[in-house]
Chains A and B, each alone.
Chain A
């Protein structure tokens, strides 16, 4: 029961998302009020379920890569033999975050072309930064006393990493992953301008054709997806 109560917010958002995703075609009359002149009221090119699934796939793959690479890089530069790279990596992570995600997405096209793959690569590159930064902050924020006593207890470097550093840094790292995923969901939506099939498609189609109904359908589903994922992190943290 307590598990149910704890996960109620993400569940509620997820339920709302799935319901709307499946029932959207039945809401035609409602959308007629908003866009009386539109010829078609419901976005037809793809089913909403497949768009949601693909959006989640793009964000999921990108976030997973970003988590592995970002945490890996941060862990490497906090080991004794990688410490020379620490100032540069840390600065790069904070400077990189001032790059607007749209610009990173746009710059991926000349190098990689159009489609889902360049979108994922851009999302990984950009999503890395908050994760690297927060992992560094988390690991460096551990008090020297704790580290000394871990060494004093005869723990090996690997044991210290898994049993001391990562558990203590967990909240900060999770906050970084949350930022990264939030940005990725938003940027993946814009990814439909470079040919990734995501929930941005109905919005872009709506803007191009002047069809407010399409825009709303995409916008509502993306917003619900974002809120669902974010409330999940809220619970995790």
Chain B
């Protein structure tokens, strides 16, 4: 609400928003010059790129350029109302993009062509990227509340999900790859998430132990952090490789380990390496979080007659939680990406599709692995950031209430 007053004060000299102007100009370039989709007769044959002109003729091109012209006009006088209108327009464009693809797929693939497929072209990716940038810029300028922001994202996600599950997009090369290995995809997705959750859980426990030990014996601090940061610098592929030999040896030496599934290749080296990488961000945040709780707060708690255990569980830990959540966020996002590399050493997960696709030069299979990984990373990042933000706000409110 406070924005309204500041808006009316700052209204008259509303200068054009150069960011939106540049983005719309680039989007116009992408629509006119780049192929939006490519139509392939089968999986092997290279596709033929089609621009919007080739897909929909002058009508479609004029329509799209009119929308962009509208955006330019709104960005020229960026009052709050104009920016809200621009946000609606950009949101609609993004929500309708999958449905436009449904129309294109229906027009380009005749019912009998079961192996024909539609690949997403450079123009479409560029357009998607530019529209998302516009959305981000407008959300920033309008200082949208978290609730509206998540609602907007949810709406866009829902539109995409409906288009994907409705069957209209089955002609997309990506969907053809998905339908070819639906069971494997779901298994890999579950496995990827399981591996990442296990890593986050284990490293959280270890990090909590380490942080507590370091608070007790300060001599441990330097050594632990330098060992953990050295671990962090070793490239993932190398760490997987270095773990392979000792694990293979252990599995042969102790058969019960082998029976558990511990091998040089597989989930065991992946889990160990991912936990090793996770320990630095997790421990650093846990330690800093616990250490940074202001001394006067704990003093006050003690003065109220709380026992040391009560001070820890009821005061120190809750106050440390937002920073610890930040550590969990960094760790989880990092583990989601590294788990993809672990597919190289046979650990499974979504990375399998990436490396299979690279091996077969089947780019849509690569996308089938890479896109979900990116989406999961973004989602986890957003959720944990929002959670930490919420906690911080709640605590801030509590503090002012006390004051």
Contacts and interface: CB of A to CB of B under 8 A. Distances in A.
Interface of A: 34, 84-85, 87-88, 91-92, 95, 98-103, 106-107, 109-111, 114, 182, 185-186, 189-190, 193-194, 200, 203-204, 206-207, 212, 215-216, 218-220, 222-223, 226-227, 230
Contacts of B240: 219
B366 A203 contact: no
13 contacts: A85-B19, A87-B140, A88-B137, A102-B340, A102-B351, A103-B340, A103-B374, A106-B369, A111-B122, A182-B232, A203-B237, A207-B265, A227-B233
A99 B248 CA distance: 32
B241 A216 contact: yes
Interface of B: 17-19, 122, 133, 136-137, 140-141, 230, 232-242, 244-245, 248, 264-265, 333, 336-338, 340-341, 344-346, 351, 354-355, 357-358, 361, 363, 366-367, 369-370, 373-374, 377-378, 381
Contacts, number: 136
Nearest to B344: A207
Contact of B140 (A91, A106, A227): A91
B233 A226 contact: yes
A189 B237 contact: yes
Contacts of A223: 234-235, 238-239, 242
Given A185-B235, A190-B341, A227-B233, A100 B241 contact: no
A84 B340 contact: no
B18 A189 contact: no
Contacts of A92: 133, 136
B374 A100 contact: yes
Dominant secondary structure at the B interface: helix
A100 B337 contact: yes
Contact of B238 (A114, A203, A230): A203
Contact of A212 (B133, B245, B373): B245
A163 B18 CA distance: 29
Contacts of B344: 190, 193, 204, 207
B377 A98 contact: yes
B235 A230 contact: no
In this complex, the member of A102, A185, A189, A226 whose beta carbon has the largest number of chain B beta carbons within 10 angstroms is: A102
Nearest to B345: A207
| Top 4 closest pairs, chain A to chain B, by CB | A100-B337, A219-B241, A186-B235, A222-B238
Nearest to B226: A234
Given A102-B340, A185-B235, A212 B370 contact: no
In this complex, the member of B232, B236, B351, B370 whose beta carbon has the largest number of chain A beta carbons within 10 angstroms is: B370
